[in-house]
Chains A and B, each alone.
Chain A
Amino acid sequence: MKVKAIQILMATSSTQPAFSDEAALIARARTGDAAAFTQLVNRYERKIYRLARHITQNDEDAEDVLQDAFLKAYQHLGEFQEQSKFYTWLVRIAVNESLMRLRKRKPGRFVSLDETVDTGEETVAREIAVWDDNPEQRYSREEMRQILMQAVDSLSPIFRTVFILRDVDELSTEETAKALNISIPAVKSRLLRARLELRDRLTRFFKRKADDVFAYM
């Protein structure tokens, strides 16, 4: 019976026509409609797993975060405020779960996303080299994914989380601030730092072959 129920849940996949009205899905899920909640899960599971994986940098923790974030979302659907975006609310739950696991894994080292950080742009030497017009064409899809993911993972959690939400998930500055419970100026300064650091890290992969002359700002 249990296996059958799971098969039904999995069959409600994202390949089926999605409900255009997310509010209707949420309303149905609140009444205990498992299929409606599963549609919400199918819609966001990849992004939540990717976010959790980037924050925790650990497959096992990311899986726990994925499960717990959706379980908590289901349990607390009644507290979800209709005027905010469901995904932003879900991200907030997932970020908190991820940080909890990071703290467990690194006891004695308090991990927080709302601490003040010195973004220190003016002290960083930057490599200036022109990139290929379509740098991604130089690598296979899998190579590109590896290069991009490793570059993001090399940033500290405080920067990579903002980058993923703003530039990969394409949340607005305001939504990112809300999801992470930090100020808008904090989102902006961290995003700038993350973008510049990633650009630096990717330059060695994407710079034009003949452009081996370096200049530093």
Chain B
Amino acid sequence: MSLLTCDRFLQELSDYLDEDVREDLRRELEKHIAECPNCWVMVDTTKKTLKIYKELEPEPLPEDLKQRLMTALQSKMGSGTAS
């Protein structure tokens, strides 16, 4: 039986998902997930949260905003101030 509490599990959740935990701790966490339905749901839904956000492409800049950016850059670059 896992000795980890759910609170302790939650503290390690991020590092676990990032695969940034020691091997012995990883085994403990996985044991806890196998025994605790609530923590299993936390892992599954947090993983899905990250997946959804990673798939989110940044929107293209609106054309007028892009135009204003380029105008501002052009005036600065035209004056040759890069150092």
Q: Which of A50-98 contact B (CB under 8 A)?
A: 50, 63, 66-67, 70-71, 74-79
- Contacting residues, chain A, for B83 (C-beta < 8 A): 75-79
Q: Which of A123-169 contact B (CB under 8 A)?
A: 126, 128-131, 135-136, 144-145, 148, 152, 163, 167-168
B76 contacts A by Cβ under 8 Å? yes
Q: Considering the chains assembled together, what is the distance between the CA atoms of A6 and B55 in angstroms?
A: 32
A178 contacts B by Cβ under 8 Å? no
Return A182 CB to nearest CB of chain B, in Å: 16
| Interface class of chain B by DSSP | helix
> When the two chains form the complex, which single residue of A34, A74, A163, A217 contacts B6, counting CB atoms closer than 8 Å?
A217
Would A46 and B11 count as touching, CB distance under 8 A? no
Q: Which of B33-72 contact A (CB under 8 A)?
A: 38, 41-42, 44-46, 48-50, 52-56, 58-61, 65-72
Return B82 CB to nearest CB of chain A, in Å: 5
> When the two chains form the complex, which single residue of B15, B46, B74 contacts A196, counting CB atoms closer than 8 Å?
B46
| Interface class of chain A by DSSP | helix
Return B8 CB to nearest CB of chain A, in Å: 10
B24 contacts A by Cβ under 8 Å? no
B73 contacts A by Cβ under 8 Å? yes
- Contacting residues, chain A, for B65 (C-beta < 8 A): 49, 63, 66
Range class of the A interface residue count: 35 or more
Return A119 CB to nearest CB of chain B, in Å: 9
- Most interface-central of B14, B49, B56, B83 (chain A CB within 10 A): B49
A164-191 near B? 1/0 per residue, CB < 8 Å: 0001101001000000000000001001
- Contacting residues, chain A, for B10 (C-beta < 8 A): 121, 192, 196, 217
Would A148 and B80 count as touching, CB distance under 8 A? no
A–B complex contacts, Cβ < 8 Å, 15 sampled: A6-B67, A9-B70, A29-B82, A34-B73, A46-B61, A50-B59, A66-B69, A78-B83, A145-B56, A145-B59, A173-B18, A188-B14, A191-B14, A192-B13, A199-B49
The 5 A-B pairs with the shortest beta carbon distances in the complex, nearest first, are A46-B58, A78-B83, A192-B14, A34-B77, A67-B72
